[in-house]
A and B are shown apart, each in its own frame.
Chain A
Amino acid sequence: MKTKLYLKFFGLLIVTAILQVIFPSISIKSILLKPDLFLLFLTYIALRYGRFSSVLFGFCLGFIQDITTQIELLGAFSFIKSITGYLLGSIFDYERIWSKQIRWLVIVGIYFVHFSIYYFIQLNGSLTTFLVGTMLVSIHATINLAFLFLMNKFIFNSKLV
């Protein structure tokens, strides 16, 4: 049973990694943006399997993301994804207490935290202004939220969140 589950995760991970690489990017202020599919995968893990699994997966996903995208900042994504996994896992713990709207609101907040830390590290030392940084965080978080919304609606029949 567990082997089947691990295989499922591994398969999903491979698919996510391939999609992440081949997904087209949009350019804003000479910065390329594409949805963070690893974050969507982490959201799925957190909402389905809870905090402990999401922390472990968050660290692993982040580490893979570090190696594949930015070896110069090795550890940055694993750090962000671990924290994000922990926070998203809280939704699983409070599923029966929080309403759907609250859960979405928490996800919005967590995505903004995730991309804020990400861009704080990513844009550090560049001449990008605070306003542009905030705009990038907002756009990236919105894109990811849109993908999550679509995923929840059409793949999970609104049962994931």
Chain B
Amino acid sequence: MKLSSFGYPTKDSIALFIAIVVSLILFFSNSSVRVREVQADVSDIINIVLSPQKWYKDILNVKKQNQILTETVTQLTLLNQQLLHYEFENKQLREMLNFSEDIPLSLKPANVVNHHFASSVQSITIDVGKNDQLVQNLAVIDLKGLLGKTISIGENASTVQLISDKNFRVSVRVGESRILGIFHPTQGEYGVISGIPKSANISIGSKVVTSGISDIYPSNIPVAEVIAINIEDVEVFQNVVVKLSATLHNLGYVFVIQ
């Protein structure tokens, strides 16, 4: 609109404005089909003219939405990680419950609070002790098999000598023929079974379980699995190499057999 030298609209512009407004009111107040078609076309034209503005607004919205979504994705990723952890924990606990139901033993669940693999005695610390009626020399197992035995008991915590400790021994039975032998740890998760006569028929993959002769360990607790057998002429016994059933690394939950 043209402005006068004082910045106000001129009378020409005002007259034009009034004329246009009156004309448009007259035109669009008519409800005929042709007027509606013109109205639709005018709307289309306005839409086309305003499309860059709309596009720009859309871009800004997309940018803002992208930022919000990125934040949401990050939050959900963190939440997902937490849920995965819960799922894993839940699965482990369910397996533990099933395991405890299968074996008719009194099991005391415990959390592993510390590891001592580098000390003179390979051990772990668990968060149960005298207050939980624990005493020395109780067998400790995990989901898969024998893990060790309690060696010192505190009020609320206990130390467990691991099966991988060099001084650890346990009487075992090997295979279906249940031949008696003694388990000795060697390195890491491996060990040997001594005292197996050459005549004993055992094979690779045979299960090694506690014999039950000891006062400490109940019978039939999984200990290891045979992975190699060496028979030498000069030796009296077979050299049976086994791999431990229990998982020594990444220990989280254990059971104390009371």
Contact = CB atoms under 8 A, between A and B. Distances in A.
B41 A75 contact: no
B73 interface: no
A73 B34 contact: yes
Contacts of B22: 59, 75, 78
Given A83-B20, A124-B38, A52 B26 contact: no
A79 interface: yes
Interface string A72-98: 111110110011001001000000000
Chain B interface: which size bin? 20 to 34
Nearest to A56: B15
B89 interface: no
Given A121-B38, A124-B41, A78 B26 contact: yes
B235 interface: no
Given A55-B12, A56-B15, A86-B12, A79 B20 contact: yes
Contact of B34 (A51, A66, A72, A78): A72
Contacts of B33: 125
Contacts, number: 69
B16 A86 contact: yes
A114 B175 CA distance: 106
Q: Rank and list the top 7 A-B pairs by shortest CB-CB distance, nearest first.
A: A75-B26, A75-B27, A79-B23, A82-B19, A59-B19, A125-B37, A51-B12
A80 to B, nearest CB: 8
Interface string B155-194: 0000000000000000000000000000000000000000
Given A56-B15, A72-B35, A73-B32, 20 more contacts: A52-B15, A55-B15, A58-B19, A59-B19, A59-B22, A72-B30, A73-B30, A73-B34, A74-B26, A74-B27, A75-B22, A75-B24, A75-B28, A75-B29, A82-B20, A83-B16, A121-B34, A124-B38, A125-B34, A125-B37
Contacts of A59: 19, 22-23
A35 interface: no
A52 B17 CA distance: 11
9 contacts: A51-B12, A52-B11, A52-B12, A58-B19, A66-B26, A73-B34, A79-B24, A124-B34, A125-B33
Contacts of B15: 52, 55-56
